[in-house]
Amino acid sequence: MSMKRRDFSLAAATLGLVPLVGNVHAQGAAPKAGKDFIALGRPVPSDVPPGKIEVVEFFSYNCPHCAEFEPMLDTWLTKLPPDVVFRRIPVPFVGNDTEAKARLYYTLEAMGKVDEFEPKIFLAIHKERQNLTGDAAILAWSEKQPGLDAKKFAELFKSFSVTGKAKRAAQLTTDYQVAGVPAMAVAGRWYVDGETAGSMPNALRVVDYLITQARKA
């Protein structure tokens, strides 16, 4: 149901997509820790203002399951409550250019272009089979994108701030004990993915539940 930490080869990311299906939770049954989600033994500090709840998606551009999950996640985000702060964290596994892919994400974030170009990146890698492996290929891709300032992209792509965010993302992946992607975390306290929840649609339902629990804390 997800790309595992041991799947370091990009060859794994070129396999056909696996449908995100699984057992549906019993109607009205509350998700349970240790079964549907994991309660972290050591909470991870959330970088959000007081009164806000952080929800994190762990992903990789190299992951076909993340590409399949993206439209579902986008629909879910349209209904995000005002007290929830959502952010993405690119993981340092799945493929052999994870640091470059993390800098790709944080460069687009710095330019305010994630929503516009993230679907195009997934399409380029997983449908069009374009080579976006490594710095040179990513920079060449950026030069061909209408609406993307390639010069500014190149400057940010190798900047100290973007590199620092990529390193921080790798540390957070370890702090959250991420086992595979796509995966999600809530309030720095709970972790859920397609295996714990049975499927990614169920994982989103578990996240909704955990958001209500975070409000009670």
160-210 pLDDT, tens digit each: 999 999 999 999 999 999 999 999 999 999 999 999 999 999 999 999 999
pLDDT (0 to 100) of residue 5: 53
Instruction: Give me the mean pLDDT over the 95-115 stretch.
Output: 97
156 has a pLDDT exceeding 80 = yes
Structure confidence at residue 24 as a pLDDT band (50, 70, 90): very low
Distances (CA, A) of 123 to 1, 188, 216, 217: 20, 31, 40, 40
pLDDT (0 to 100) of residue 29: 83
Structure confidence at residue 7 as a pLDDT band (50, 70, 90): very low
Structure confidence at residue 4 as a pLDDT band (50, 70, 90): low
Structure confidence at residue 217 as a pLDDT band (50, 70, 90): confident
- Share of residues in the chain with pLDDT > 90 (%): 84
How far apart are the C-alpha atoms of 126 and 212, rounded to whole Å? 35
pLDDT (0 to 100) of residue 3: 61
- Share of residues in the chain with pLDDT > 70 (%): 87
Any idea which residue has 């629990």 for tokens?
A: 213
Angle at 90 between CA 87 and CA 96, to 5 degrees: 175
Structure confidence at residue 2 as a pLDDT band (50, 70, 90): low
pLDDT (0 to 100) of residue 47: 85
Torsion angles phi and psi, residue 44, rounded to 5: -100, 125
134 has a pLDDT exceeding 70 = yes
pLDDT (0 to 100) of residue 21: 36
Q: Which amino acid, 7?
A: D
For CA atoms 36, 179, 195, 183, the dihedral sign is positive
Any idea which residue has 């991870």 for tokens?
A: 44
pLDDT (0 to 100) of residue 8: 34
How far apart are the C-alpha atoms of 127 and 131, rounded to whole Å? 11
Any idea which residue has 């400057």 for tokens?
A: 155
Instruction: Give me the mean pLDDT over the 33-51 stretch.
Output: 94
Six-digit token pair at 13? 């990311």
Match domain 30-216 to its CATH number in 3.40.30.10, 3.90.105.10, 3.40.1190.20, 3.30.70.330.
3.40.30.10
Q: Taking the mean position of all CA atoms in its chain, how far away is CA 216?
A: 26
10 has a pLDDT exceeding 50 = no
Average pLDDT of the chain to the nearest whole number: 89
Residues recorded for the chain: 217
Six-digit token pair at 166? 């990529």
